[in-house]
Amino acid sequence: MEHQMLKLVELTLEMEPAYRQFLADLERERSGMAQRWLFEHANEPYPELVTKLQDWSVGKQLSKGRVSCSTLFLVDDDGKILGKVSFRHELNDYLRKIGGHIGYIIIADERGKGYGTIMLKLTLERAKPLGLERVLVTCDEDNIASAKVIEKNGGVFENKYYEGENPVPTCRYWITLKQGSK
Ligand SMILES: CC(C)(COP(=O)(O)OP(=O)(O)OC[C@H]1O[C@@H](n2cnc3c(N)ncnc32)[C@H](O)[C@@H]1OP(=O)(O)O)[C@@H](O)C(=O)NCCC(=O)NCCS
């Protein structure tokens, strides 16, 4: 499909209507990931959320055990939010095993149109200036769409991580960032 001018942006005060619609789109979906994001952010006053996400991106106001994280939204020509990505700037023990540097979601109605692949590509471009040589991206073993998104962005499978209470193993992939080509 033809892609319009998609942008990966931080949340701004002006984006509140689009953000509310994004939450409503997630609300309709009952998947664990959509619900987790709603649970974390839905009831927060919007201006505080905008400030908090900005703070997190520069390592401020982090809860214990959290690392600096950019929260970015894939937006189309009309300003509609198609998806969201969390880009953790470094790994802690949990992220190294399971979470990885980057986690993402595309709203259910917009899946299968290439947006997940593009969103990860745009995120990798954002990651280069941080000087990382490679990033870890993970997905559940049964998440075929996510595995394809990772592989189409150059992900090289390293291994599966098995954790006692998690019924599905986590597949761990590394993506090498080519420095110098911003
Ligand atoms: C994973 C996710 C972000 C992929 O986004 P997307 O926009 O649908 O991905 P794309 O359209 O770029 O598709 C990438 C590939 O996956 C394939 N794909 C998409 N949905 C699929 C599905 N349900 N089953 C199998 N393959 C699928 C596409 O066909 C494409 O492969 P192709 O290029 O060989 O045709 C999206 O499915 C999602 O938000 N899922 C819920 C949240 C989630 O699982 N996040 C990732 C956690 S690791």
CATH number for the domain whose boundaries are 7-129: 3.40.630
pLDDT in tens, 22-49: 988 988 887 666 677 666 777 789 999 9
Q: What three-state secondary structure class fits 143?
A: coil
Pocket lined around ligand 1, Cβ cut-off 6 Å: 31, 33, 103-106, 111-117, 139, 143-146, 148-149
Mutate to test the pocket of ligand 1, among 35, 97, 148, 168 (most ligand atoms within 8 A of CB): 148
Alpha carbons 94 and 160: distance in angstroms, whole number:
14
pTM: 0.94
pLDDT in tens, 120-134: 999 999 999 999 999
